[in-house]
């Protein structure tokens, strides 16, 4: 809880799903970009594949130290953040050593809390941001756990396909378990991605997910869109690659919905 009168820190959102290829990184990059037009955003790349760093145009050979140095090396956040090409959006890149972190962390003290601790150690840097988005790897290992312990919210990108519901039940169980370490954590967002309106299955899965998770599912649906998949190879979010594409427009709406939901939540809390 925030002490009365104190300025709450940035909103911390982890994008997680143990499945790969469901749109975590795409959602992280594009939501961060859309939010950065009105908010100050920091994106933490916690996936050793470093797709968020690449997608924002920071190639592997130009990445200095990043999330590995923060989590394992205990370097201060302020020394590791780098600006992106997008005004209002900074990045903590995934450095080349991050692939080893999953194993190295196992033997370390406070292994699930290292990210949370690192953020708490640097309130002055956190105060520069309104949103911290964390792009997680496709597993429920220690990197994802660190994100969940450091986050207030989990946003789960869910590909509208047959096994979608099965995958998400594992995610909800994980969130429940992490609540022992981070009681404030809530799964308050499922985003349907790669939706194909020509495919009946997409509609069926979307209906199932909504009937189960109700209003925790975002109204905004991200369509499958070729421009979205082309953008990363140009080192650009689709919002900058082709802002008129259906994918870019959907991500603009998604960010607006996130802001709306956050305002409603803040109001509820104040009441």
The answer to whether residue 199 forms part of the interface with ligand ADP (CB under 6 A) is no
Rounded distance, CA 149 to CA 136, Å? Answer: 12
The bridge status of strand 89-92 relative to strand 41-45 is parallel
Among 25, 33, 152, 160, binds Mg ion (CB under 5 A): 25
Q: Tell which residue, 100, 89, 64, has the closest CA to residue 79.
A: 64
Give yes or no for residue 20 binding ligand ADP (CB under 6 A). yes
Residue among 12, 24, 63, 224 that touches Mg ion (CB under 5 A):
24
24 belongs to the binding site for ligand ADP (CB under 6 A): yes
Tell me if 19 contacts Mg ion by CB under 5 A.
Answer: no
Q: CA-to-CA distance for 183 and 170, rounded, in angstroms?
A: 18
Q: Is 232 in the site for ligand ADP (CB under 6 A)?
A: yes
- Rule CB under 6 A: say whether 242 interacts with ligand ADP: no
Residue count at the site for Mg ion (CB under 5 A)? Answer: 3
- Strand 89-92 to strand 153-159: parallel, antiparallel, or no bridges (unpaired)? unpaired
Give the interface segment with Mg ion, choosing from 24-32, 161-169, 202-210, 253-261 (CB under 5 A): 24-32
Among the listed residues 88, 138, 141, 167, the single contact to ligand ADP using CB under 6 A: 138
Q: Can you tell me the distance from the alpha carbon of 8 to that of 1, in angstroms, rounded to the nearest whole number?
A: 9
Distance separating alpha carbons of residues 117 and 75, to the nearest angstrom? 12
3-state helix, strand, coil in the chain (%, to 5): 45, 15, 40
Using CB under 6 A as the binding rule, whether residue 22 contacts ligand ADP is answered as: yes
Sites of contact with ligand ADP (CB under 6 A)? 20-26, 51, 138, 193-194, 222, 224-225, 228-229, 232, 247
């Amino acid at each position: 809880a925030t002490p009365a009168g104190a300025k709450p820190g940035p909103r911390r959102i982890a994008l997680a799903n143990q499945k790969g290829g469901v749109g975590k990184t795409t959602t992280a990059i594009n939501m961060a970009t859309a939010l950065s037009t009105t908010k100050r955003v920091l994106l933490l790349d916690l996936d050793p594949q470093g797709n968020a760093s690449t997608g924002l145009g920071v190639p592997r050979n130009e990445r200095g130290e990043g999330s590995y140095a923060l989590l394992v090396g205990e370097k201060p956040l302020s020394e590791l953040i780098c600006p992106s090409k997008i005004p209002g959006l900074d990045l903590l890149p995934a450095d080349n050593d991050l692939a080893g972190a999953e194993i190295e962390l196992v033997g370390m003290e406070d292994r699930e809390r290292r990210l949370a601790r690192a953020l708490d150690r640097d309130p002055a840097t956190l105060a520069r941001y309104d949103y911290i988005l964390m792009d997680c790897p496709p597993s429920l290992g220690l990197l994802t756990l660190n994100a969940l312990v450091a986050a207030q919210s989990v946003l789960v990108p869910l590909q509208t396909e047959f096994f979608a519901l099965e995958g998400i039940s594992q995610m909800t169980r994980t969130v429940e378990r992490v609540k022992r370490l981070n009681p404030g954590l809530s799964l308050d967002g499922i985003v349907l991605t790669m939706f194909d309106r020509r495919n009946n299955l997409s509609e069926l899965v979307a209906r199932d997910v909504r009937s189960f998770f109700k209003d925790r599912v975002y109204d905004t649906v991200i369509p499958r869109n070729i421009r979205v998949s082309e953008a990363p190879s140009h080192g650009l979010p689709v919002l900058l690659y082709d802002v008129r594409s259906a994918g870019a427009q959907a991500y603009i709406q998604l960010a607006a919905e996130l802001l709306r939901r956050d305002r409603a939540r803040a109001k509820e809390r104040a009441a």
